[in-house]
């Protein structure tokens, strides 16, 4: 009887000490992928500008009291923020000269001009041009100048609050020193185009 008891006790001890082998089950991974398309835009939902509307810049007077171009006449103007979510080589800034809208049939071209060039530079606060690797852009000889540049990575010209970018518009000295611009209304255009690569 004692042997049987010891044998039974030993078997019970073995049963208690043996580890339990639980079923851990099976697993599999489900990979989720997605794509963000290359995009660029002018304007942002948090921007302060009016998207899609042209910015109108009016320089009160292009000349000084002597009727000659005032080289110190400049204006800082804001425009909608420009952004791209990746690299792009399609950033184009086209600048046309200020053209007299209703020029006379004839005039003394040795003393007067019917167009003035526009010069664009950074305004000192928002360095849009230098951000895009440019220093300044000027329209040329009464015509248009188109500058094409690129960005090596994602960029945004506004601030962290996505406010408007700014450029300094100025009218440099006349092409022929001492010339005066003819009286009338002058108009020119700066067109900024950005597209994803």
Q: How many residues does the chain have?
A: 197
pLDDT at 126: 78
Chain centroid offset of residue 176 CA? 35
Which CATH number describes the domain made up of 39-195? Answer: 2.60.40
pLDDT in tens, the chain (197 residues): 554 544 555 555 555 555 666 778 899 999 999 999 999 988 765 555 555 666 777 877 888 889 988 777 778 887 778 889 999 999 999 999 999 999 999 999 889 999 988 888 988 877 888 888 888 898 887 788 999 999 888 988 876 556 677 888 888 766 666 789 999 999 998 888 999 98
pLDDT at 73: 76
Residue 24 burial by Cβ neighbours in a 10 Å radius (0-12, 13-18, 19+):
exposed
- Of the chain, the end-to-end C-alpha distance in Å amounts to 92
pLDDT at 30: 95
> What secondary structure letter does DSSP report for 7?
H
The count of other CB atoms within 10 Å of the CB of residue 79 is 20
Question: For the whole model, what pTM was predicted?
Answer: 0.73
Q: Which of 173, 175, 176, 171 is nearest to 188 (CA)?
A: 171
Please answer whether residues 121 and 130 qualify as being in contact, where contact means their C-beta atoms are separated by less than 8 angstroms: no
**Checking phi first, is residue 45 left (phi over 0); if not, alpha (psi -120 to 50) or beta?**
alpha
Structural domain boundaries in the chain: 39-195
Can you spell out the DSSP letters for 180-192? EEPSS-EE--EEE
What is the rounded CA–CA span in Å between residue 46 and residue 126? 17
Q: Which of 41, 117, 128, 139 is nearest to 76 (CA)?
A: 128
């Amino acid at each position: 009887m004692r042997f049987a008891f010891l044998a039974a006790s030993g078997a019970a001890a073995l049963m208690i000490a043996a580890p339990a082998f639980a079923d851990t089950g099976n697993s599999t991974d489900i990979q989720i992928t997605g794509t963000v398309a290359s995009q660029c835009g002018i304007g942002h939902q948090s921007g302060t500008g009016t998207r899609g509307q042209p910015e109108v810049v009016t320089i009160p007077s292009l000349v000084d009291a002597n009727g000659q171009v005032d080289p110190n006449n400049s204006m800082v103007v804001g425009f909608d923020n420009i952004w791209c979510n990746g690299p792009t080589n399609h950033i184009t800034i086209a600048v046309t000269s200020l053209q007299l809208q209703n020029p006379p049939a004839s005039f003394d071209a040795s003393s007067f001009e019917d167009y003035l060039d526009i010069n664009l530079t950074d305004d000192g606060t928002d360095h849009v041009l230098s951000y895009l690797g440019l220093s300044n852009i000027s329209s040329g000889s009464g015509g248009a100048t188109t500058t094409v540049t690129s960005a090596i990575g994602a960029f945004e010209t506004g601030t962290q609050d996505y406010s408007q970018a700014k450029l300094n518009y100025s009218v440099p000295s006349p092409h022929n020193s001492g010339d005066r611009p003819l009286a009338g209304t002058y108009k020119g255009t700066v067109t900024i185009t950005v597209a994803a690569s």
